[in-house]
Amino acid sequence: MSIIASVSGLTRDYIQGTITVRALRGVDLSIQEGDFVALMGPSGSGKSTLLNLLGGLDEPSAGDVSIEGTSLTDMTEAQRSNLRRDRLGFIFQSYNLIPVLSAAENAEFVLLLQGVGPKERRERVFKTLADVGLAGMENRRPNELSGGQQQRVAVARAIAGKPALILADEPTANLDSETGNALLELMKKLNEKNGSTFVFATHDPKVMAVANRVIKLVDGKIISDERQ
């Protein structure tokens, strides 16, 4: 298995007034191709901070983050933006869909940024929406979809660009139990069928139950890392 992402000596400090808050404390970690990882831990343990650093959305105070063997440390912001566009997918708790765009238009947005041609764009978007259970709903806008359906559009948007790594921050938090379970089953199926690599920051024990790897953080440190 190839290494998709790795972090070494990762530290992130935040200044709050005269106090330095250490969100991560020298974390070392590698994510392998095909992993379905749950980052677990109490609020303030560093889960979201680690996810943001893996996604190049934040910069470490010390240490290094690499995606597919390329270090983010020396990249310009434009280079990090291109990396996020081409190699990373993001799924957020709040969906973050563009309200005036249809499901298909939301899902194809990253493909437009990647410069994919119209024919391939349409084929890939319609197949991806079908894969997430939204065939026939391509022209609906977010306000015409349930919360679970909106999150499925967000999943389709995240995977349509064929990223190396998909980062999901509490993706089931705003969903009822049944809808959250269905979404998890969908993402696990994508992981097994397509070999898509997922890393979740989550409090949801259901994510831990389906993950093939559970990493627990406390006070900015990894206290356990187990495959199951």
pLDDT in tens, the chain (228 residues): 799 999 999 999 999 899 999 999 999 999 999 999 999 999 899 999 999 999 999 999 999 999 999 999 889 999 999 999 999 999 988 888 999 999 999 999 999 999 999 999 999 999 999 999 999 999 999 999 999 999 999 999 999 999 999 999 998 888 888 888 888 998 999 899 888 899 999 988 889 899 999 999 999 999 999 998
Q: Number of folded domains in the chain?
A: 1
57/143 Cα distance (integer angstroms): 28
Residue 2 lies in a domain: no
17 belongs to a structural domain: no
Residues facing residue 20 across a β-bridge:
15
Nearest CA to 150 out of 129, 127, 124, 178 is that of: 129
Range of the domain at 57: 34-63+73-227
The set of residues, in sequence order, having a beta carbon less than 8 Å from that of 135 and lying 6+ positions away, is: 126, 129
- Tell me whether residue 22 is in a domain: no
Does 223 reside within a domain?
yes
pLDDT of residue 73: 87
List the CATH number of the domain containing 192: 3.40.50.300
pLDDT at 138: 96
Residue 10 lies in a domain: no
Closest CA to 198 of 69, 5, 7: 5
pLDDT of residue 101: 96
Question: Does the residue 21 lie in any domain?
Answer: no
For residues 80 and 72, the answer to whether their CB atoms sit within 8 Å is: yes
Whether 68 is covered by a domain: the verdict is no
pLDDT of residue 220: 96
Asked whether residue 54 is domain-assigned, the answer is yes
Closest CA to 158 of 117, 97, 218, 101: 97
